[in-house]
Amino acid sequence: MRIGFIGLGTMGGAAALNLIRGGHQLTVCDLDRSRADEHLAMGATWAETPKDAAQDADIVFSMVFGPQQIEQVVRGENGLLSAMRSGQVWVDMTTNQPALAKALGQELAAKGVQAVDAPVSGAVDGARTGNMPQFAGGDEATIERIRPVMELMGPLYYIGENGCGSITKLASNQLWAIHATAMGEALVMAVKSGVELSRAWEALKIGASESWCMHHDAPSVFAGHYDPSFTLDLCKKDMGLIIEACDDAGTAAPATRLVSEQFEKAHKRYGGDKGELHVVKLEEDAAGISLRLGGDWVPHWEK
């Protein structure tokens, strides 16, 4: 297929490469042209604007920072609304406000475009290896029709109507944030109480305490880089969207609100450009211990 791809960040750039490897012709667009070097070397075409990326495309994918950026991609000058036409499909993989996802989808639907909100999970290694889960909301028949394309990037889960994909992604990030914070508290408590760190980690990866976070993210703490592939700026943005979703749904969510405060503290103390797992470093620093652990901790974005 002819595909437009807007947003070549750490996740989007890797996902777009998998589409090229799958045999599709891509036109790529990003604020930083240097991010497209590998894509262009593999045969992709460069587009200066989202409008240009959408010209003649069967599907347009977008994956940008957040609501403000995706609104500009769609509604801005030289945005998708000025270019897309009946029969095309727009798949937005941005972690977005569910209400905005619906509104943008409706605006494009008025032009005959099928809109799908399909935000993603799985971290950079998932994007690189084609194992990036996608939570899709929109017309089920359209999603099934383009499933072979989307599954080149990772598993595809149909969630429901427009906006359902976005709310599911926020729920996924909500659980991750709670797990990451709890992981730090548990490991610090165990180590400060005299348990050797490697033994604590092995024990907490099984049974009732097992989580993807404990398996996948703990090594970033042990290595001391706290995973710079996803920054505290992104965490702060996502936590804001999650709290907004809880408020909109009328849920109390006390654990989520406490965790949001912890990420805000980490953001203020260490800086927005620092890795997401600095929320664990908060607990280390408060306890006066370090969770460094010797070993060959290959960063997940290099796997």
The residues assigned a catalytic role are 169
In angstroms, what CA-CA distances link 102 with 99, 141, 214? 5, 18, 34
